Amino acid sequence: MSNDSIFKTFLVAFLLCVVCSVLVCLAAIVRIDKEAYNKQLEIRKTVLAAGGYQQLIDDGGNIDELFTANVELKLVDLATGEYTTAVDVATYDQKEAASKPESSVKIPADLDLASIGSRAKYAAIYVDKKGATILPIRGAGMWGPMYGYIAIAADGTTVNGFTFYQHAETPGLGAEVDNPNWKKQWTGKQVFKSSGALALKVVKKGKYKADAADAVNTVDGIAGSTVTGDKVHGIIRYWFGEHGFAPFLAKLKAERG
């Protein structure tokens, strides 16, 4: 067949299109995979940071290796405070579960201190090899939803670390929740009193007194950002209340004596 034939011209053009389409598809797949991996890496980094592994990350530790070696993903039925295998934890998406009526529960208005309306029935938590639990928390901030993790030591009450990984607060104001100096003060705080009563709170900047009897339960707010401080307070009070992780942490404490 002659190189000038119309058939051959169309054939070459067609083959060129096929090759280009395959290349574009491959590039898109690689990009989606990379985005998914980066998202997973960010969550792992946040979980490790909240769990008290920040120094190991700063020292150049590999996030995936640290994560695999130290923490395990588990599901908690928040109503009973028990671990559950009712759904596959590996594929469980708590955000998605919270948005569907069949996998979520409505929060009574008087308990909805985080202003979220409903929550997933099951919480995907991380348990580290020292028995600490790294718990997902969320709630309304001043400008949008805030998502984070708070790590509780094996005693079920001591805070190991605290961090948000997503929020829309204002840089220099509410976004100071990301300031390492502000986050640092959470470490060592006690969520509950020895009676079991919920005690952890965020107060207006300057109201914290280091020598007060409740200093161990109190986090100082952020200057000029009382609204965000109050929102974080509400998030904490909801997630450590009876409708949140309190039944789970009470069981953990009882089991560990």
Ligand X SMILES: Cc1cc2nc3c(=O)[nH]c(=O)nc-3n(C[C@H](O)[C@H](O)[C@H](O)COP(=O)(O)O)c2cc1C
- The footprint of ligand X (CB under 6 A) covers 142-143, 169-170, 173-174, 205, 224-228
CA 39, CA 12: separation in Å to the nearest integer? 41
CB of 46 or CB of 226, closer to ligand X: 226
CB of 106 or CB of 209, closer to ligand X: 209
For the stretch 168-206, what's the b/e string if a residue is b when 16 or more beta carbons lie within 10 angstroms of its beta carbon?
Answer: ebbeebbbbbeeeebbeebeebbbbeeeeebbbbbbebe
What is the nearest approach in angstroms of ligand X to the Cβ of residue 220? 11
CB of 233 or CB of 243, closer to ligand X: 233
CB of 94 or CB of 226, closer to ligand X: 226
CB of 70 or CB of 226, closer to ligand X: 226
What is the nearest approach in angstroms of ligand X to the Cβ of residue 234? 13
Report the residue number whose CB is nearest to ligand X: 174
CB of 70 or CB of 228, closer to ligand X: 228
What is the nearest approach in angstroms of ligand X to the Cβ of residue 203? 11
With CA atoms as reference, report the closest residue to 75 among 131, 124, 120, 119: 124
Amino acid 60 reads: G
What is the nearest approach in angstroms of ligand X to the Cβ of residue 43? 24
What is the nearest approach in angstroms of ligand X to the Cβ of residue 206? 9
Q: What is Dmax (Cα atoms) for the chain?
A: 95
What is the nearest approach in angstroms of ligand X to the Cβ of residue 169? 4
